[in-house]
Amino acid sequence: MTPLETKLLPLGLAIAWLLIQASFRRSRILAQLVSLAPLWITLMLSSNRWDHLVLASAIGTLLLSFYRIQEHHEEFGMLLLLTTLGALTLVAAEDFMTFFIGLELMTLPVYGLIAWHPTHPQPLHSGLKYLILSGVSTATLLLGIAFTYAQSGTLRLALASPLGSALILVGIGFKLSLVPFHLWTGDVYADSPWCAMSTLATVSKAAVISLLPKLNFDPKNLKVLGLIAILSMLGGSLLMLRQQNLARFLAYSSIAHMGFALAGWMVQADITYYMAAYLLSVWILLAGSNSRFFTILGLFSLMGLPVLPLFWGKYQILLLAFSHRNWPLFGFFLASSLIGVYGYARMIAKSTQEKVIL
């Protein structure tokens, strides 16, 4: 068995078990154990840092769901495990065939998670919106893969053609909510159930951003990436300023942070550390969404308060941008961070005066 097959086997067996269990005799505790065990096993089997981030994100989402989801535990476990299985396939991808299979296997269960509500219609509307826009981005991505194969005769990620890379960037930008592919983010986060919001903010982000070091971008595409990073940092930070809803605030915060991570990759920073710090901050916020203390702590952590993990990730990126003399990235990174501080301060002040619930 290949290393990828070894990692995916426990998840596949757990999905099959949950499918059988849902058809015969449901058990909340058993469903939670069957969902959690393969994630821990796969985490122990893996040595890849991106795998660790994806699996830790899935485990965090599952643990936080134990007290939030009151029924249909088997279905939730299957959807989350399928998403994780696709994310691990995506992280391991070295060619566009594996890349596309992993991306779609990760995305399709998310549609179900977004529409996860048996009586309320709003999540269904969000799921439909995400499905349509995701379909458009997938079509653009497939076109980029086709151009790459037509021009280079290969499906290797590292040998993508310039035009193919530009089109593939649209698909990746949509998944990461980068500007200008972010228009779905606020509505989907605000209207989706908690489990979908957690998956979108953690599992899918960690898997997709792991692809950046594998892709080949020519100088023109790198300039476009730099512009997208600047627009995402600045746009996400500005959009946060007028948000009163915590879910929408988290959505626009994720846009800014993905812009920061993209800027970090462009100056050769260790974005695995930055993503780990970002995911930890999101978990603190989500875990304590019914607790004023943890909500405020999560917001301070996302802000990048000195001594908290995300501060050191931002500090490293700023230093590298300065040493590379990339003045546009350095200036907009610093300006966006300062604007973000004001946005987080407003939401923290709101949280001290009233209970803010995701």
Burial per residue of 116-136, b for 16 or more beta-carbon CB atoms within 10 angstroms, e otherwise: bbeeeeebeebbebbeeebee
Q: Match 């060619």 to its residue by tokens.
A: 95
Specify if 26 maps to a domain: no
3-state SS of 13-69?
Answer: HHHHHHHHHHHCCCCHHHHHHHHHHHHHHHHHHCCCHHHHHHHHHHHHHHHHHCCCC
- pLDDT at position 23 is 63
- pLDDT at position 357 is 59
Burial per residue of 29-45, b for 16 or more beta-carbon CB atoms within 10 angstroms, e otherwise: ebbbebbbebbebbbee
Tell me how far apart the alpha carbons of residues 199 and 252 are, in angstroms, rounded to a whole number: 16
Q: Evaluate whether 303 touches 295 at the Cβ level (below 8 Å).
A: no
- pLDDT at position 233 is 93
Specify if 25 maps to a domain: no
Q: Evaluate whether 33 touches 77 at the Cβ level (below 8 Å).
A: no
- pLDDT at position 217 is 78
What does pLDDT average to in each consecutive run of 10 residues of the chain (358 residues)?
68 69 66 74 82 87 73 73 88 87 88 69 72 86 87 80 83 88 83 78 87 81 88 92 86 92 89 90 80 84 87 91 89 92 88 67
* Residue 95 per-residue DSSP state: B
- pLDDT at position 174 is 87
Please count the structural domains in the chain.
Answer: 1
Other beta carbons less than 10 A from residue 13's beta carbon = 15
Residues whose CB falls within 8 Å of the CB of residue 273, separated by 6 or more in sequence, listed in order: 312, 313, 316
Give the C-alpha distances (Å, rounded to integers) separating 17 from 53, 64, 81, 94, 179. 25, 22, 12, 30, 40
Q: Is residue 311 exposed (0-12), middle (13-18) or buried (19+ Cβ within 10 Å)? A: middle
Q: Evaluate whether 130 touches 182 at the Cβ level (below 8 Å).
A: no
- pLDDT at position 26 is 66
> For residue 199, which of 32, 76, 72, 30 has the smallest C-alpha distance?
76
Residues whose CB falls within 8 Å of the CB of residue 66, separated by 6 or more in sequence, listed in order: 32
Specify if 328 maps to a domain: yes
- pLDDT at position 17 is 63
pLDDT tens digits for range 320-349: 999 988 888 899 999 999 999 998 988 888
Specify if 5 maps to a domain: no
Specify if 18 maps to a domain: no
Specify if 285 maps to a domain: yes
Specify if 339 maps to a domain: yes
The parent domain of residue 227 ranges over: 221-358
Cα 258–chain centre separation: 9
- Reported as half-sphere exposure (CB side, CA atoms, 13 A), residue 89 has a value of 23
At 294, the amino acid letter reads F
Specify if 70 maps to a domain: no
Rounded to a whole number of angstroms, the distance between the first and last alpha carbons of the chain is 42
Bridge partners (DSSP) listed for residue 12: none
